Amino acid sequence: MATELLIAIPEHKVSLRDNGRESQTDVFALIKSNNRTVAVAVEGKVNESFGPTIKDWYVDPSARKQQRLAFLCDLIDVACPPPDDLHYQLFHRTASAVLEAARFKTDDAAMIIHSFSQDYKWFDA
């Protein structure tokens, strides 16, 4: 069972199909494993947070925010609105992996968080 890195692109931006800001993954990779191709969004963290929670990001949401969150939740198959304590960044990073999987016609999508924190900072997120 060999796994092969096909390509890795640092600071890869993915349009979330609206006129809003793109999602930028630290590394986007295409890998081949067990005769399947996987689109992978990798987010690297040391001490920085995952940004605002859904509760903080979604305060008095504009129509644009409502539309974006509904799109993200639908794309990754979670109830909308999602739990307040989850981080918005994790939603759009996961969605970017799914969108790129569709664009590159891969078999699977994955979002991986690579923590470099020796103190397990933000591990609970």
Q: Which residues of 59-94 are buried (b: 16+ CB within 10 A; e: fewer)?
A: eeeeeeeeebbebbbebbeeeeebeeebbbbbbbbb
Q: What is the pLDDT of residue 124?
A: 76
Q: What is the pLDDT of residue 1?
A: 65
**Residues in the chain, pLDDT under 70:** 1, 125
Question: Does residue 28 fall inside a structural domain?
Answer: yes
Q: What is the pLDDT of residue 51?
A: 87
Into how many domains does the chain fold? 1
Strand 108-115 to 36-45 pairing: parallel
Specify the pTM.
0.88
Q: What is the pLDDT of residue 32?
A: 97
d(CA 73, CA 77): 6
Question: Does residue 69 fall inside a structural domain?
Answer: yes
By residue range, what is the domain housing residue 28?
3-115
DSSP 22: P
Q: What is the pLDDT of residue 114?
A: 87
Note whether 14 and 22 are within 8 A (CB): yes
